[in-house]
Amino acid sequence: MIRVFSTADVIFIVMAVRWTLILSAIAFAGGALGGMAIALARTSQRKALRQFAAGFIQVFQGTPLLMQLFLVYFGLAVVGLPINPLLAAAVALTLHASAYLGEIWRGSIEAVPSGQTEAATALSLGYADRMRHVILPQAMRVATAPTVGFLVQLIKGTSLASIIGFTELTRAGQIVNNATFKPFLVFGTVAILYFALCWPLSLLARRMETRMRRAITR
Amino acid sequence: MYHFNFQPIFDNLDMLLHGAWLTVRLSLMAMVLGLVVSVLGAVAKTSGIRPLRWLVDVYVEVIRNTPFLIQIFFIFFGLPAIGIAMSPNTAALVALVVNVGAYGTEIIRAGIESIPQGQIEAGRALALSPVQILRHVVLKPAMRNIYPALTSQFIYLMLTSSVVSVISANDLASAGADLNAKTFASFEVYLVLTVMYFLLAAGFSAVFAMIRRVAFSYPASR
């Protein structure tokens, strides 16, 4: 039965934005924790830690996000968990975000001049204090713009969760399209909603970057 | 206890290898055509014609701020509604070209703008012809700046291309989906697929690094 594309359908699609945002928030929160660990491991004194972090980043940046989603989704059964699209998408996107944020933040940590580390060491600050009070606050300023930029990639990435059956914005569009068969209108609406989420963040990232560059080249 | 079974995958390895070849071919074709779009976009963006610049801006921003999955749905399912219908394989190629073209436009524009104006003026002072200036003063140094960004964009494109399997276009991910339907060894199939994509990405990275060492041994523009 084909029905018309009505206000109810538009509301259904708009409401699904919620799940796109929730999934993005979970992945970003998890990715921030994981990414911090990866960034610290990547810049640590221990070779084994550095190599592990480098390998982790390489695997997740060198394979498709779609495959990562499928692997986690079918991997749940392997470790004896029930198959659950939200759990699979959250885990896969968290790992994915950990790798990308880890790489971004490693660059930010390395952007802090080494004299800062040396000065902090000379003041007999231990690793934790050095990181917490000297290095990370400075690295954070460099990291903000690319982090916001990655958030755009992450929100777009959540659309792939529709393929493993999680009902977020993209899948809501597919459901409405199957009922109304107005693909041009439906996917146009979905595209506009994604654009409304991502574009302000892109602009913000660009503005931050310009300001950073001006601060550095003063 | 889960029982791993890789046997059916090794029995059908030729199917996956053929899929890998299709992914490489699709990605290379999309990259070449995408480069044409990128150069045109960058030229339009750096031109003085305002409506043209605005049009390219809209294209780049829309593509960069919407998911590739929605772009391919719009092209494959949406466009037939206004009379533009194409096969899954054509739609996949068009979607990838449109997508990489937006990113490439930005990369090439940044590369062109990275050449200091003074270099071009110096070229004129040395009585070089406009063609010589374009070739030696602008393009060669710009290429050197653009190359790393373009090659990593290609790797990213190849990984993104796995999404074309959702409209059943022919590629590695589709071959994997077929094998999954045939064998039901889902985890094993996707594990092998993931490894194959990784090897493709690593292989291309190595080749690009080798080319870079040979082709860009001349000094950078300062």
Q: Is A181 on the interface with B (CB under 8 A)?
A: no
Length of chain B: 222
Both tokens of B166, joined, read 């959702």
Confirm whether pTM is higher than 0.75. Answer: yes
Both tokens of B28, joined, read 């290379």
| Distance in angstroms (rounded) separating the CA atoms of residues A65 and A158 | 10
Instruction: Give the mean model confidence (pLDDT) for residues A102-130.
Output: 95
Q: Which tens digits make up the pLDDT trace of A148-179?
A: 999 999 999 999 999 999 999 999 999 999 99
To the nearest whole angstrom, how far is the Cα of A56 from the nearest Cα of chain B? 12
Contact B163 A194 (CB under 8 A): no
Both tokens of A146, joined, read 């690319």
Q: Which tens digits make up the pLDDT trace of B4-53?
A: 889 989 999 999 999 999 999 999 999 999 999 999 999 899 888 999 99
Model confidence at B135, pLDDT cuts 50, 70, 90, reads confident
Contact A194 B67 (CB under 8 A): yes
The angle, 0 to 180 degrees and rounded to 10, between the axes of the packed helices A169-180 and A183-216 is: 160
B222 has pLDDT over 60: no
**Per-residue model confidence (pLDDT) at position B114:** 86
Instruction: Give the mean model confidence (pLDDT) for residues A52-64.
Output: 98
Q: Smallest Cβ distance to A156: which of B67, B74, B159?
A: B67
Contact A162 B68 (CB under 8 A): no
Model confidence at A1, pLDDT cuts 50, 70, 90, reads low
Provide the residue type at B176 as one letter: G
Q: Which of A68, A70, A72, A85 is nearest to A22 (CA)?
A: A85
**Per-residue model confidence (pLDDT) at position B185:** 92
Q: Is B40 on the interface with A (CB under 8 A)?
A: no
**Per-residue model confidence (pLDDT) at position B1:** 64
A218 has pLDDT over 60: no
Instruction: Give the mean model confidence (pLDDT) for residues B56-60.
Output: 98
Model confidence at A2, pLDDT cuts 50, 70, 90, reads confident
8-state DSSP, B219? P
Q: Is A94 on the interface with B (CB under 8 A)?
A: no
The answer to whether the CB of A108 falls within 8 A of the CB of A140 is yes
**Per-residue model confidence (pLDDT) at position A217:** 61
Residues of B in contact with A198 (CB under 8 A): 65-66
3-class secondary structure, A64: coil
Residues of B in contact with A160 (CB under 8 A): 67, 69, 163
What residues contact A44, with CB distance under 8 A and at least 6 apart? Answer: A50
- Closest residue in A to B79 (Cα) is A184
| Distance in angstroms (rounded) separating the CA atoms of residues B47 and B117 | 15
CATH of domain B17-215: 1.10.3720.10
Q: How is chain B split into domains, by residue range?
A: 17-215
Residues of A in contact with B160 (CB under 8 A): 64
Q: Which pairs count as long-range contacts for B176-184, CB under 8 Å and 24+ apart, including other chains? A: B176/B16, B176/B19, B178/B15, B179/B8, B179/B9, B179/B12, B179/B15, B179/B16, B182/B8, B182/B12, B183/B8, B183/B9, B183/B12
